[in-house]
């Protein structure tokens, strides 16, 4: 019987991703959840996406960087003020390198395949059970306000957003992908929220390269975004949900 792992916020650091898979002896019997922000800042985000996409036992939950990417690459008209606005926002957040490899390195068929894959990825998973323990997996912040209640799909994906009004689409996206968990936030007993998005040094300046354990929540973003900018204080972390063992590659 395989193990269940969670990683987050790799930001294009393909070599660390591959080293981590080797470190945990990841096999076809195991399951891996990736909590978003595979792309941007580092140079190999598209490479990681293509690898994940081919693995049946890896599930990507979308982060805000995948959302910014989709906002651009799904546009029918790649010109005009709306395109410029979206591209400016994406590039400002480190998306230039991803855009370069997507538009310049992939053919149209591979671009279409990648878009279809990202649009089918879940936005969160609220009932992952491992060894009798329940987990809520999300990139940034749980949907504790019920913005997704109007969606009938069992797994809520980017494609599911069409079931909501534009106002609720924005609210749900902002909640799941952009909102930061505060150090004082406390989530209900009986379920542990696992999230990324916010580097753990925000919560524990003295130990920035390790997971942060809050009140029924765990932050696993250990700062690959810093490594992408050659700041060596970051690392890639991986959490094994079977026994809560922590793995780190720096």
- DSSP-assigned letters across all residues of the chain: ---EEEE---TT-HHHHHHHHHHTT--TT-EEEE-S--SSSSTTHHHHHHHHHT-TTEEEPP-HHHHHHHHHHT-S---HHHHHHHHHHHHHTT-HHHHHHHHHHS-HHHHHHHHHHHHHSBSEEEEEEETTEEEEEESS---TT-GGGG---SS-BGGGGGGS-HHHHHHHHHHHHTPPPPTT-B--TT-EEEE-SS-GGGT-TTSTTS-EE-BSEEE----HHHHHTT-TT--EEEEETTTTEEEEE-
- The mean predicted confidence, pLDDT, of the chain is 95
Q: Is the pLDDT of residue 231 over 90?
A: no
Q: What is the average pLDDT across 163-180?
A: 98
Tokens of 148: 């997704």
Question: What was the pLDDT predicted at 233?
Answer: 79
Whether the per-residue pLDDT at 207 is higher than 80: the answer is: no
Is the pTM above the cut of 0.75? yes
C-alpha radius of gyration, the chain, whole number:
17
pLDDT at 222: 95
Beta-carbon neighbour count of residue 114 at 10 Å? 19
Percentages (nearest 5) of helix, strand, coil residues in the chain = 40, 20, 45
| Residue of 196, 207, 242, 233 whose CA lies nearest to 10 | 196
pLDDT, residue 50, reads: 97
Neighbours of 60 (CB within 10 A): 22
Say if residues 39 and 102 touch (Cβ distance below 8 Å).
Answer: no
**Per-residue model confidence (pLDDT) at position 80:** 87
pLDDT at 225: 87
Q: Per residue in 12-22, pLDDT tens?
A: 999 999 999 99
* 4-249 maps to CATH 3.20.20.80: no
Give per-residue pLDDT as tens, 107-137: 999 999 999 999 999 999 999 999 999 999 9
For residue 161, give both structure tokens. 């957003």
pLDDT digit string, tens, across residues 210-229: 999 999 999 999 999 888 77
Identify the pLDDT of residue 208.
77
pLDDT tier for residue 48 given thresholds of 50, 70 and 90? very high
The pLDDT score that the predictor gives to residue 1 is 81
Q: Are 145 and 169 in contact (CB under 8 A)?
A: no
pLDDT at 229: 72
Residue 163: other Cβ atoms inside 10 A? 14
pLDDT of residue 227: 82
Say how far apart CA 165 and CA 149 lie, in whole Å: 12
CA distances from 215 to 63, 93, 187, 223, 242 (A): 22, 29, 6, 21, 20
**Which residues, other chains included, contact 99 with Cβ-Cβ below 8 Å and sequence gap of 6+?**
69, 72, 87, 90, 91
Higher pLDDT, 206 or 224: 224
Residue 52 has a pLDDT of 98
């Amino acid at each position: 019987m395989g193990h269940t792992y969670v990683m987050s916020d790799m930001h294009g650091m393909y070599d660390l991703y591959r080293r981590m898979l080797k470190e945990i002896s990841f096999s076809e019997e195991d399951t891996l959840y990736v909590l978003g922000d595979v792309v941007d800042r580092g140079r190999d985000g598209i490479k990681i996406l293509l690898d994940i996409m081919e693995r049946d036992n890896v599930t990507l939950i979308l982060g805000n960087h995948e959302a910014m990417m989709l906002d651009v690459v799904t546009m029918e008209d790649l010109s005009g003020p709306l395109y410029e606005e979206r591209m400016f926002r994406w590039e400002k957040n480190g998306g230039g390198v991803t855009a370069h490899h997507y538009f310049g390195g992939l053919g149209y068929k591979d671009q279409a395949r990648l878009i279809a894959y990202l649009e089918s990825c879940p936005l969160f998973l609220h009932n992952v059970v491992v060894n009798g323990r329940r987990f809520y997996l999300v990139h940034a912040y749980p949907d504790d306000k019920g913005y997704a209640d109007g969606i009938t799909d069992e797994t809520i994906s980017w494609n599911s957003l069409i079931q909501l009004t534009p106002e609720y689409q924005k609210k749900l996206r902002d909640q799941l992908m952009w909102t930061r968990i505060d150090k004082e936030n406390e989530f209900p007993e009986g379920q542990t929220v696992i999230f990324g998005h916010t580097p753990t040094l925000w919560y524990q300046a003295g130990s920035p390269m390790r997971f942060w354990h809050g009140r029924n929540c765990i932050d696993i973003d250990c700062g690959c975004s810093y490594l992408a900018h050659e700041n060596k204080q970051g690392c890639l972390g991986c959490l094994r949900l079977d026994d809560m063992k922590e793995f780190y590659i720096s």
